[in-house]
């Protein structure tokens, strides 16, 4: 049995609640979703058929809507699987791809779900630790590959950094897949929150059986609690993912699938409204951080801000949540071993109401000005 420590996304919010702190540590909204999504949910609730099991692979109309909004038009019947959030899609993909003794590369800083999922599937985590958060991992991939390497897990746009992968990083991943048959699993949960056209794994790697795209509506629709996500892969790999999925959740909540299908198909502009609101508030908060001496800038995906606090970030975060009433995360928690070049960096989640950010900004100003 694989034992893991308590998640930082459980511990820190609990600590924030205990001390009455503004929770900018966790990427969860403190407001509801767009009105169009709520209307779709009400309509779904009045559909008698929406309260029973759906096909394990997902509602056909939702798979069609996902395919409509996905690069390269995957086949909704054979290449799209609806899951209980992107987290389940990630787990199902890794269990489909890894056997005990296989290795999976994870590029750090990395979201905490990746390593435990790999270990649960029997794989060994091989980290690449980016020491310069503005740098590229393209030239680091080949050196860590062995004959046991089966998977690379990446995240674009990248939590916690907020940036999309660069063209040279995608090119290096595509070369690795083509030359060595390694499957690239790309978590693209934040894909619709970047300006312009998102370029992801389906664009970068043409071979359908050598890439898996994982995504969800959690961030783009401001519904982190709905747990509606999906995996997109080639037909043969999709069969393997579905074989795992059917014994995990069988199918996500059916009324929520109906509501998401409606909005993805007919009201997709609400995603732009969510993204615009995030960017506006992130820009405002970045300016306030700069005013109190914390160097930061708004990344392509405005969900998070990374700021330099000028001292040991773990101690700074501990003091801020207990004494000053603002919770954030040191960037070091996204690494599996110490990296001295990120010791002073902190991640703020800015997916909050304007009033929430104003309270956080005021508390920080009182302490730091």
The full set of domains in the chain, from first to last, is: 8-33+270-368 (3.90.1150.10), 35-266 (3.40.640.10)
pLDDT at 22 over 60: yes
Task: Provide CB contacts within 8 A for 339, sequence distance 6+.
Answer: 108, 129, 131, 332
pLDDT tens per residue, range 325-338: 999 999 999 999 99
For Cα atoms 254, 255, 261, give the angle at the middle one, nearest 5 degrees: 90
pLDDT at 65 over 70: yes
pLDDT at 288 over 60: yes
Q: What is the CA radius of gyration of the chain?
A: 20
Q: Is the peptide bond before 109 cis (omega within 30 degrees of 0)?
A: yes
- Provide φ and ψ at 123, rounded to 5°: -85, 170
Query: What pLDDT sits at residue 13?
Result: 76
Residue spans of alpha helices (H) in the chain: 8-19, 35-45, 60-68, 85-97, 114-120, 141-144, 167-180, 201-204, 235-245, 254-266, 269-291, 313-319, 354-368
Which uninterrupted H or E stretch holds 329?
strand 329-330
Query: Are 82 and 306 in contact, with CB atoms under 8 Å apart?
Result: no
pLDDT tens per residue, range 116-138: 999 999 999 999 999 999 999 99
Considering Cα of 157, then 161, then 165, then 166, what sign does the dihedral take?
Answer: positive
Task: Provide CB contacts within 8 A for 205, sequence distance 6+.
Answer: 173, 174, 177, 178, 184, 211
Using a pLDDT cut of 90, give the percent of the chain over it: 87
> How much of the chain is helix, strand and coil, in % rounded to 5?
45, 15, 40
Residue 368's closest CA among 329, 319, 335, 331?
Answer: 319
Query: Are 76 and 200 in contact, with CB atoms under 8 Å apart?
Result: no
Q: How confident is the model at residue 17 (pLDDT cuts 50, 70, 90)?
A: confident
Q: Which is more confident, 106 or 17? A: 106
Query: What pLDDT sits at residue 8?
Result: 67
């Amino acid at each position: 049995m694989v034992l893991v420590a308590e998640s930082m996304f459980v511990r820190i919010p609990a600590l924030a609640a205990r001390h009455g702190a503004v929770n900018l540590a966790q990427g969860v909204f403190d407001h509801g979703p767009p009105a169009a999504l709520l209307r779709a949910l009400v309509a779904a609730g009045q559909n008698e058929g929406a309260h029973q099991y759906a096909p394990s692979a997902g509602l056909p109309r939702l798979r069609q809507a996902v395919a409509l909004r996905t690069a390269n038009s995957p086949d909704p019947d054979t290449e799209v699987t609806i899951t209980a959030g992107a987290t389940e899609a990630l787990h199902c993909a890794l269990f489909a791809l890894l056997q005990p003794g296989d290795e999976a590369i994870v590029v750090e800083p990395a979201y905490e779900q990746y390593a435990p999922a790999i270990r649960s599937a029997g794989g060994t985590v091989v980290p690449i630790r980016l020491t310069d958060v503005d740098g590229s991992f393209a030239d680091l991939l080949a050196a860590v590959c062995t004959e046991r390497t089966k998977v690379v897990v990446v995240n674009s746009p990248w939590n916690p950094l907020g940036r999309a992968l660069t063209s040279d990083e995608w090119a290096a991943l595509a070369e690795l897949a083509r030359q060595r048959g390694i499957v690239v699993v790309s978590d693209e949960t934040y894909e619709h929150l970047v300006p312009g056209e998102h370029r992801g794994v389906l664009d970068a790697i043409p071979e359908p059986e050598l890439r898996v795209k994982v995504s969800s509506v959690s961030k783009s629709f401001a519904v982190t609690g709905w747990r509606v996500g999906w995996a997109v892969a080639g037909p043969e790999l999709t069969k393997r993912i579905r074989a795992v999925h059917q014994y995990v959740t069988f199918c996500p909540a059916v009324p929520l699938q109906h509501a998401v299908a409606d909005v993805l198909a007919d009201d997709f502009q609400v995603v732009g409204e969510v993204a615009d609101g995030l960017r506006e508030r992130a820009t405002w908060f970045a300016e306030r951080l700069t005013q109190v001496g914390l160097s930061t800038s708004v990344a392509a995906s405005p969900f998070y801000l990374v700021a330099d606090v000028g001292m040991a970030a773990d101690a700074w975060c501990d003091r801020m949540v207990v004494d000053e009433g603002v919770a954030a995360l040191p960037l070091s928690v996204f690494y599996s071993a110490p990296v001295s070049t990120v010791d002073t960096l902190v991640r703020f989640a800015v997916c909050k109401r304007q009033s929430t950010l104003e309270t956080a900004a005021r508390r920080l100003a009182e302490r730091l000005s």
